[in-house]
Amino acid sequence: FATTKPSVSYRASSTLMAKLGDSIDFAKYEGLGNDFILIDDRDKSDPSLTPEQSERLCNRNFGIGGDGVIFALKAPEGEDYDFTMRIYNSDGSEPEMCGNGIRCFAQFLKDLGEDSESYRIKTLAGPIIPVMNADGTITVDMGEPILDGPTVPTTLAPNSEHNSVLEQTHTCNGKEWKISAVSMGNPHAIIFVDDLETDIDFSIDGPALESDTGAFPAKTNVEFVQVMDPTHLKMKVWERGAGPTLACGTGTCALVVAAIRAGKIPRAGKEGVRVTLPGGDLFIEWREENNKIYMSGPATLSFKGQAILKDRP
Ligand SMILES: N[C@@H](CCC[C@H](N)C(=O)O)C(=O)O
């Protein structure tokens, strides 16, 4: 691909690009290092790339590189939405929602010249509402957490109120875990540990739990969490369909819910709970009055360009 601010050499290579076949304009964004390729499909109802093409573009050696591809689509006719968001993970699978992705989506809309202070976005997890803050961060109404075990979905036996799975014992990869299951439209398995550095074998335990379809039939995102103090948590995430990422917004919302429900931290006020992810901090408020979760954090444009749609690898 080449940048959209063409240099002399780019102009020379545009003939070459024409010869090579189809290409697509993109913008690359990141939210705390969780990085996405954004495609402007505001005139379309369906993504302009297939899952296979998206997987190739996410390849960090043969493509642009990214944890996923996000499509900004028009809202369905007659429905009360401003836009639709669809996303493919870097392995081509389609998740229901993406927390860092929706902040990148909102920033992308702003950079494209849309000028609303907030948007009502249709996602496979229902309506999600990002609000642009004056300081450049974005606060997202992420909706209510889903606690009902079968709806998450998990087959682990419910052991808490709302038919939920809270620190339920489960063996995976020859180890016994205490798993809390929470969905933010997409499934999350949350595990509290005393020490994130010594208590887990991240690159082995992460994928084993992700693909434990006996316990999580739709696979799951996996968050390992250490309580630092009553308003500060630290996490490492292994994402379904993307592997280790620097941040996961839905996962951060889910783990705050699990931490409060398990009595590990109190329910904080408007200032929210600070969660340190490998790529930086997110602030999460689980509001008592409406049971909704609000996530605040940054989203930043990294670069723009034009990608050639190749058949390999
Ligand atoms: N990074 C995302 C979550 C993306 C989807 C996830 N991999 C899944 O398959 O559910 C976030 O910030 O929420």
Host H or E run for residue 250: helix 249-261
* CA–CA dist 243, 161 (Å, integer): 31
Q: Do domains 8-134+299-308 and 149-291 have the same CATH topology?
A: yes
Given this model, what pLDDT does residue 21 score?
66
- Is 104 catalytic? The answer is no
Q: Produce one character per residue of 201-220: b if its CB has 16 or more CB atoms within 10 Å, e if not.
A: ebeebbeebbebeebbeebb
Given this model, what pLDDT does residue 9 score?
37
Residue 249 in contact with ligand 1 by CB distance below 6 A? yes
Q: Which of 250, 255, 275, 296 to mutate to test ligand 1, by most ligand atoms within 8 A of the CB atom?
A: 250
Phi, psi (deg, nearest 5) at residue 250: -60, -40
Do the Cβ atoms of 267 and 260 come closer than 8 Å?
yes
100's tokens: 């860092």
pLDDT tens across 27-67, in order? Answer: 999 999 999 999 999 999 999 999 999 999 999 999 999 99
Domain ranges of the chain: 8-134+299-308, 149-291
- For domain 8-134+299-308, the CATH class is alpha beta
Of 58, 98, 104, 172, which residue is the catalytic one? 98
- Is 98 catalytic? The answer is yes
**Domain 149-291 falls in which CATH fold?**
Diaminopimelate Epimerase; Chain A, domain 1 (3.10.310)
Low-confidence ranges of the chain (pLDDT < 50): 1-12
Do the Cβ atoms of 230 and 266 come closer than 8 Å?
yes
Closest residue by Cα to residue 182 from 160, 211, 197, 203: 160
On whether ipTM exceeds 0.95, the answer is: yes
